[in-house]
Structures are given as structure tokens and as C-alpha cells.
Copies of this chain bind each other. A is one copy, B any other.
Amino acid sequence: MSFKILKKCPSTGARRGVLTTPHGEINTPVFMPVGTRASVKAMSPAELLDLNAEIILGNTYHLFLKPGMEIIGRAGGLHRFMGWERPILTDSGGFQVFSLSSLRKITEKGVHFASHIDGSRFFLGPEESMAIQRTLGSDIVMAFDECTPYPADYKTALQSMRRTARWEAVSRDQKLPDGRQLFGIVQGSVYKDLREESAKGLTDIGFEGYAVGGLSVGEPEETMFEVLDWTIPHLPADKPHYLMGVGTPKQLVEAVARGVDMFDCVIPTRLARHGSAYIADGTTIPVKAGRCAEDFTPIDAECGCYCCRNFTRAYIRHLFNVGEILGLRLLTLHNLYYFINLMRGIRESLDNGTFAEFRINCFNK
């Protein structure tokens, strides 16, 4: 068993666990910084280690297009290519094929599409996605899925979910090196019976972990939590549960309470590049705004990150104002510290049996 649950919260669905991979152990619940193009934007691998990021995410679609699999293969895989020795999870490419590329034609075997970079034509299906992720050397491989757009009518969502189910069965049939894990992805849009059917179908196939996909795509926040409430109970309780592409700090805490163990999201890094920083109450402040120009306090005086220990809002605002790269470096570092530290707080509260209180109080600052 690669996933071990150490503690369960008695009053919510939250779990404290450890996931073992070929590149090391991951303490869950965990937040995975996103390294789309073989780099977590603006960060170095050494800084990610300092932040104690235990796993990062890479994007199959982007890496397949640039630098391409020949180069990553010759480099000895994604870990060696980018100098990251801890675990890597890669997505299947499905999400980006449907959200970024154009001229898509879906067949039973996969998707013909045109690159968003230069329009060149490619084909990606479950077999191709698995082959790419083998070359990448991912510790955790995602099965190829179609991320159902939102909103989708019932019939579209049904057809999409069932095609995903067939693709995931094909993904399962592909060989993976020892110790590499394959996660299935639940789809079914906002329809309870489709989510249930998807969850049960994947459980029948059998995966090392289960992701909930197709959320945080425009639906109301309550709908997202409802879908989790419908879905998670139908997934194997002894396997890791991964909520893809989510979310805000408050959403992470609420999803943990519903039994989610793993998260990835571009929010902390993207907002940092836009000049916003997370503060203790779970909201952000626009550090690059003029109102911070004479604010000689740190972003958060209680925060232990390199940015908050050494620099003021006024300095970071100046860096953004004149376009210095250090500004977005410092905010990226702060925001990732914030997310990783939030997950550490969640894990400690689970270890101590105080998660229910943590959930209520963690943003009351």
C-alpha cells in the first residue's frame, strides 16, 4: 500500500496521511505548486525545497509541445531535466487539449488538435498520454480524460463522462514502471447520478488514487462542495483523493473537511505575478497598488517567509512599479509559503485532533 492514513478527523471527512512514491514521501493533505513548463514560475528548485514543497505538478500538454519528448527523454526524464528530486505528478494533457488548443476533433481513440503555439497538428489519446508520462518519469500519472466544459447539458455531460471512463480503462491497461501510480479522474459535471456512476466505474477499474476533475471551471462554489459531497463517499476510502485545479485557501480547508488529500492550483503563483499577496484572513491585498507605496510594514508581520522577514510592502510595490523581477519573485515565494504553511497547519490540527476548530478559526485573524 503506497497510501497510509495516519489519522481521521472524528467529526468531518478529513484525513491525515502519507503517500509513498519513488521520489519520496508526501504528507497529506498536500498542496502541489504548479510547474507547467518544467518550472514553477519565478521559483528555483532550491527555493521550493526551502518552502518544503513535497511534490510539484507538471503539465503533459505543455511539455509535449515544448521542449518535446525527445529532449526530456534524452535528459533522463522531467526530474533530471528540471533539477527536481522530489515527487512529480503530471496531468494527462486532457484539460489543456480542451481548454487551450483549437481545431479539436474527438474520436473514440482520443483527440486530434492544433497546438496553441503554432497551429501544428497532434493527436493525444489515453495511450499517447501514458507514453508521454512514462517518458516524463512522473511519480503520479493521471489517466487521460475529457474535462467536461461548464455549463454542460445532461446529455453532453453523460457522453463526455462515459468516454472518459473508456479512456481511463485504456490508460489502466498501459504498463507503468514499478512504483509509479496511476490516478483515475471522476467527471460528470454537476449531475449527481453522473458523478456517482463515474466514481463507481473508476473504483471498479481500480486506481492507486482518485481525482475529482471538472471543478473550479465556472460553477458556483457551493456546487463544487456539493459535487464533492456526492462523489467522495463513492471512492475507495483507503486511497488518496485529489481535487484538481482548486483553489482558494478557504476552499482547500472545506475540501479537506470533505475527504480531499491533494490539491494543485495556479492561484498563488498567478496572483503573485499580478501583484497580490495572501494575508492571514485568507484574502489577498494588492501590494502593487499605489496605496502600498508608503506602507513600511511587511505583507504579514506574523508570516515566517523570506519576503515577510526582510521586505516591506512599500519596497515590493516599488519593484512592481518599476518592473523589477524581484517583486514577482517575492510575492510568488510568499504566496506559495502561505499555501504550504496552510496545509502544514491543517496536518498539525489533524495530528492533534483539532481540525474541526482549525476549520472554524483558521482565517479569523
Contact A82 B329 (CB under 8 A): no
Closest to A38 in B: B318
Closest to A317 in B: B67
Considering the chains assembled together, what is the distance between the CA atoms of A312 and B83 in angstroms?
9
Contact A44 B326 (CB under 8 A): yes
Instruction: Give the secondary structure class of A's interface.
Output: helix
Contact A83 B310 (CB under 8 A): yes
Counting CB contacts under 8 A, is A301 at the interface?
Answer: no
* A45-B310, A325-B42, A326-B42 as given contacts; A71 in contact with B293, CB under 8 Å: yes
Contact B314 A39 (CB under 8 A): no
Counting CB contacts under 8 A, is A186 at the interface?
Answer: no
Considering the chains assembled together, what is the distance between the CA atoms of A319 and B35 in angstroms?
12
Residues of B within 8 A of A37 (CB): 318, 322, 324
Contact partner of A324 among B39, B293, B314, B322, CB < 8 A? Answer: B39
Considering the chains assembled together, what is the distance between the CA atoms of A119 and B81 in angstroms?
47
Closest to A330 in B: B44
Considering the chains assembled together, what is the distance between the CA atoms of A42 and B328 in angstroms?
10
Closest to A312 in B: B75
In this complex, the interface size class of chain A, counting residues with CB under 8 Å from chain B, is 35 or more
Counting CB contacts under 8 A, is A306 at the interface?
Answer: yes
- Interface flags, A307-337, vs B, CB<8A=1, else 0: 0001110110011011011101110000000
Q: Which of A51-91 contact B (CB under 8 A)?
A: 62, 66-67, 71, 74-75, 81-83
Counting CB contacts under 8 A, is A112 at the interface?
Answer: no
Contact partner of A306 among B46, B293, B315, CB < 8 A? Answer: B46
Contact partner of A315 among B82, B293, B326, CB < 8 A? Answer: B82
Residues of B within 8 A of A71 (CB): 293-294, 314, 318
Considering the chains assembled together, what is the distance between the CA atoms of A306 and B83 in angstroms?
11
Query: What are 5 pairs between A and B in contact, CB < 8 Å?
Result: A41-B326, A43-B326, A44-B329, A66-B321, A75-B312
Show the binding face of A for B, using Cβ within 8 Å: 37-39, 41-46, 62, 66-67, 71, 74-75, 81-83, 293-294, 296, 306, 310-312, 314-315, 318-319, 321-322, 324-326, 328-330
